[in-house]
Structure 1
Amino acid sequence: MNIYELAAVRTNNFKDLEMVDKIQRVWTEAQRKLREEGNLYGVYHEFESDYKGDYTLSIASGSAEGRSLVIDDKANYRVFPVDRTQEMAVYQTWQAIWALEEQGALKRAYRLDYEKYDVDGSIDIFIEIYSES
């Protein structure tokens, strides 16, 4: 699947003191560029290492004019639905993902992960994992 970058930022969840502000700014910039309704994607890629290292966050849509990002339809993704009734629901879901990784219950590939913000209001986080072959 091809999606197109509206805006991007490089950051780190633990070492970048401006991380929250950077992420808020990149979402604001992307929404200004958005031309039509549709799914939005928060794409995590260009990983330095694991979830504690630097990464690039790109906000993308299916109908934009920008750098193409390819989500490999053949990649093995584990999907984490976000419970939007929770306060800070997306962050809480990421906390659960990181905990699973720390426990050894999730073997992330660290090539490309993404959040899908569906027009129906649902949010899913897709984490690429190593195939069990």
Structure 2
Amino acid sequence: MKVTRIKKLMISGISAVTNNELEMSEENGKIAQLWEDYFANDVYKKTFDKANSDFMYGVYSNYDSDVNGNYKITVGVEVTKAKNAIVIEDKKYLVFTKKGELPMVVVELWEEIWDYFEKNSDYERSFEVDFEKYAKEDEIEIYVSIK
């Protein structure tokens, strides 16, 4: 785990609104279906102004409140223009990394993150924009916005 600052990152893709309670039930969760839709509908090929990046992102934004509230999840890629993109500017992040088989490694790492913030007061989540960066086939980085 490390602290870093993101100067500017723009992500464009498809989105849905959900919450952690919905995501805990297989029949009501929206995130897995959103990923499936992204690939099934070739959203990558339809995305304009893609950056020279091989990374995929899962972006959590528009938090209603905290870990229990609704949020917007966007699956996408980095782009060079802000039109129709989520723009992350000058934000401080705590970065968590884990290797393992997708998609279970994502769930496991989020559980570790929730546990970390429940037990530690060194950093406080800001619930602004968090994101998952899929750097390799078997490794994920999760960037959690902090105050």
**Which TM-score band (shorter chain)?**
0.7 to 0.9
Which position in structure 2 is the counterpart of 1:33?
43
TM-score w.r.t. structure 2 length?
0.74
Cα distance in structure 2, aligned partners of 1:86 and 1:49:
28
Cα distance in structure 1, aligned partners of 2:102 and 2:78:
28
- Work out whether residues 10 and 54 of structure 1, in 8 Å CA contact, stay in contact via their aligned partners in 2: yes
**One-letter amino acid of the counterpart of residue 117, structure 1:** Y
SS for the counterpart of 1:76 is strand
Cα distance in structure 2, aligned partners of 1:84 and 1:125:
14
| Alignment of 1:4 onto 2:11 | yes
Q: 1:96 aligns with which of 102, 108, 112?
A: 112
**Higher mean displacement: 77-86 or 26-35:** 77-86
Cα distance in structure 2, aligned partners of 1:67 and 1:25:
21
Structure 1 unaligned blocks of 5 or more: none
Per-residue CA distance 1:36-60 (angstroms, 9 max, x = gap): 8721110000001111111110112
Pick the structure with more strand per residue.
2
Cα distance in structure 2, aligned partners of 1:114 and 1:45:
8
1:6 Cα shift? 1.6
- Work out whether residues 3 and 60 of structure 1, in 8 Å CA contact, stay in contact via their aligned partners in 2: no
TM-score w.r.t. structure 1 length?
0.81
SS for the counterpart of 2:99 is coil
- Work out whether residues 41 and 60 of structure 1, in 8 Å CA contact, stay in contact via their aligned partners in 2: yes
Structure 2 unaligned blocks of 5 or more: 1-7
**One-letter amino acid of the counterpart of residue 16, structure 2:** V
Q: Kindly, what percent of the aligned residue pairs are identical?
A: 27
| Alignment of 1:115 onto 2:132 | yes
**One-letter amino acid of the counterpart of residue 107, structure 2:** Y
